[in-house]
Amino acid sequence: MLASALRFIRFSHTVFALPFALGSMLVAAHGLPGWRLTGLILLAMVFARTAAMTFNRIADWEMDKRNPRTEARHKLLPYRAAMAMLVISSAAFVAVTYAINALCFWLSPVALVIVFFYSLTKRFTHAAQFFLGLALSVAPVGAWLAVTGAFAFPPLVLAAAVLLWVAGFDLIYATQDHDFDKAEGLHSMVVKLGVPGALRLARVLHTAAFAGLIAFGYFAGLGTGYAVASVFICGMLLYEHRVAAQLDVAAVNRAFFLSNAIVGALFVAGVAVDVFSR
């Protein structure tokens, strides 16, 4: 049951948002903020993402049955079990934020609304990828608030970079559903622009996202380690777009997970090197 639940929410994709939360945490705390707070931030991330992905699966339950790429999802977990997981993970997220600080607790319902709202957007707007980016951009801001209890400029810059990065890679991923989305009458950016147009937009978004990551390094006072990591991040983004241009679904799937997981790992590694070498 546990293995099915983890596959149901694509737990492996936690690697996309988590590194940016950890990097933001390290910069805000000038190192590790203590094992208790670090553990609470990790728990908050896991519970928030579990709630968001479970809500997504429930919202798209009937639609996923009709999509050849997702038709097996609903077989991994019964509907009632999915509802229970949604309630438990949402409540656990709020409880963890209460243990962090008052600001995080009071903002926790706002965070849940943001991460849930994405799942509904494809029904009425072509900008669904940007709402997904917004959902993941909450992570670095939330981690910063957990450490400092106050808003600041660097995590907002990082959040903007994450939003653009996610929107870009989700556009690439969404090319797999072009025919299905068109047949279902869904508001898909890929359907609106066509696959070539969507890939061009993804390149623009990733260029802007990379500029945002560089800006975060500047405002966060990071140095050589982060600069070196940024060079490799650029390389991984170029690799992802080179693969996407081949329009091979299997290759896109491989490149999607591999390149974006490495981008996150490089980011947090670059941050860690500079923070811990001060």
Please give the pLDDT value at position 72. 65
How many other C-beta atoms are found inside a 10 Å radius of the C-beta of residue 42? 17
pLDDT at 189: 83
Domain chopping of the chain, boundaries:
2-276
Are the C-beta atoms of residues 64 and 73 closer than 8 Å to each other? yes
- Cα distances (Å, whole numbers) of residue 188 to 125, 137, 179, 192, 197: 7, 21, 10, 6, 12
Taking only the tens place, the pLDDT of each residue in 114-159 is 999 998 988 888 898 999 999 999 999 999 999 999 999 999 999 9
pLDDT in tens, 42-92: 999 999 999 998 998 888 877 766 766 666 666 667 888 889 999 999 999
pLDDT at 238 over 70: yes
Mean pLDDT of 182-187: 73
Residues 160-175 pLDDT 10s: 999 999 999 989 888 8
What is the architecture of the domain spanning 2-276? Answer: Orthogonal Bundle (1.10)
Q: Give the residue with greater pLDDT, 23 vs 195.
A: 23
Cα 199 to chain centroid, rounded: 19
* Three-state secondary-structure class, residue 13: helix
Cα separation, 163 vs 168, in Å, equals 9
pLDDT for position 182: 75
- DSSP-derived 3-state class of residue 278: coil
3-state secondary structure of 95: helix
Rounded Cα distance between 216 and 141, Å, is 13
